[in-house]
Amino acid sequence: MSPYDPDHDPILDVRALSKQFPVGTFFSSKQVHAVEDVSFAVKRGEVAALVGESGSGKTTTLRLIARLIPATSGEILFKGNDVLKSEPRQASLDYRRKVQLIFQDPFGSLNPAHTIEHHISRPLQIHKLASSRQEVHDQVCDLLETVELKPAHEIANRYPHQLSGGQRQRVAIARALAVQPELILADEPISMLDVSIRMGVLNLIHRLKEERGISFVYITHDLASARYIADQTAVMYAGHMVEGGASEEIIAHPAHPYTQLLLSAVPDPRAGLKTDKNSQARGEVPSLIDPPPGCPFAARCLRVKEACRQQMPEPKTIATDHWVRCHLY
Ligand SMILES: Nc1ncnc2c1ncn2[C@@H]1O[C@H](COP(=O)(O)OP(=O)(O)O)[C@@H](O)[C@H]1O
Ligand SMILES: [Mg+2]
């Protein structure tokens, strides 16, 4: 293998990643196939969206990348190194600093008993990024200004309940930024926010990518927000990645019947970010416990063929920067 080239090689390269959760009892053990053979790569300063309904395996994929849970199989290359091959302990400090997570519920990730300053200064202290009290305070204020929370010294003294949902999510982003990450894994960061403030948080993510070259894996069940923010988009269904490529291309020419269904649930591009409930309304992801062979969408697909029930097709390139896993192609 040639050495890692930061200008050309992806910062994150996920290869054939799978996760099965054992469920049931000792006598009837079954497997939940939460993530199956998922591959994608993210370049430096790029936003990659993973889009899919609830239960499609998005959060599990992020938790695997963050090394919160062990993978069943596959590889996760971060700057050319397979992080799954290194001991979790040994890899943890450096990797956990460079790869940060942002969750759906900003309130759940903040301790109500502590001030905003406390939350943001903790990672600075843990990773020894500031020494004196004054230095810590200055950096906290800088970070709050970076995420457009002003006046920073005033916000720093507040408690989480004294902020709005959007402000709390910005605090969570500031805390992630404190350790100068190279990759941020954002799990539906706007889905619990008021529609009116979602755009602001997306614009902040966009600015961080542009100005600081931070890469993002952005999870959403809403194709409209993926189109708005992501350079590339991959569509997940029942643990499988079924289609992927440049976001513009996927939206303009959706190939997989499931992507087409998701898109038909976005009625008006100008309504954009307001449409996320629709995509969930049309049926459910099938049971992931010991699933039958073939394409997981076969049961819901209007264009299903015999082959679809036999085997999951390999990814096929159908245009520049556009691939699909579907027997129609
Ligand atoms: N710890 C676990 N044990 C068993 N099943 C799990 C566990 N975590 C997730 N799952 C299952 O894996 C599937 C994918 O879940 P998840 O990754 O949370 O999907 P998404 O984030 O797309 O909604 C779901 O069927 C979920 O019930
Ligand atoms: Mg999830």
Residue-wise pLDDT for 18-43, tens only, equals 999 998 877 778 899 999 999 999 99
User: Which ligand is located closest to the Cα atom of residue 60?
Assistant: 1
| pLDDT (0 to 100) of residue 275 | 45
* Inter-residue contact 235 to 277 (CB < 8 Å): no
Dist CA 85 CA 182 (whole Å): 20
Q: Whose CA is nearest to atom 25 of ligand 1?
A: 55
Does residue 14 contact residue 39 with C-beta atoms inside 8 Å? yes
Q: Whose CA is nearest to atom 8 of ligand 1?
A: 60
As given in the structure block, the two tokens for residue 288 are: 């992931």
What pLDDT is stored for residue 6 in this prediction? 81
> Looking at residue 183, what is its pLDDT?
98
**CB of 296 closer than 6 A to ligand 1?**
no
* pLDDT < 70 stretches in the chain: 1-2, 88-91, 266-284
* Ligand 1 atom 10, closest CA: 34
- Give the model's pLDDT for residue 4: 85
Query: Which residue's CA is minimally distant from atom 14 of ligand 1?
Result: 57
Does the beta carbon of 54 lie inside 6 Å of ligand 1? Answer: yes
| DSSP labels, 30-56 | EEEEEEEEEEEEE-TT-EEEEE--TTS
Q: Is 60 in the pocket of ligand 1 (CB under 6 A)?
A: yes
Q: Specify the residue for token string 């969408």.
A: 297
Nearest ligand to the CA atom of 56: 1
Bridge partners (DSSP) of residue 5 are none
321: left (phi over 0), alpha (psi -120 to 50) or beta: left
Give percent of the chain above pLDDT 70. 91
Provide the terminal-to-terminal Cα distance of the chain, rounded to the nearest Å.
Answer: 32
What's the CA-to-centroid distance between 35 and ligand 1, angstroms? 9
Please tell me the predicted confidence (pLDDT) of residue 1: 59
Alpha-carbon distance of 16 to 70, in angstroms, equals 14
d(CA 279, CA 236): 13
Contact 57 CB / ligand 1 (< 6 Å): yes
Q: Calculate how far, in angstroms, residue 134's C-alpha sits from the geometric centre of ligand 2.
A: 39
Q: Which atom of ligand 1 is nearest to the CA of 23?
A: 4
The CA 55 to ligand 1 mean position distance, Å, reads 6
DSSP H or E run through 147:
none
201 Cβ contact partners less than 8 Å away, ≥ 6 residues apart:
166, 169, 170, 173, 189, 190, 193
Question: What are the tens digits of pLDDT across the range 200-252?
Answer: 999 999 999 999 999 999 999 999 999 999 999 999 999 999 999 999 999 99
For residues 246 and 232, what is the distance between their CA atoms, to the nearest angstrom?
4
Q: How many Cβ atoms sit within 10 Å of the Cβ of residue 272? A: 17
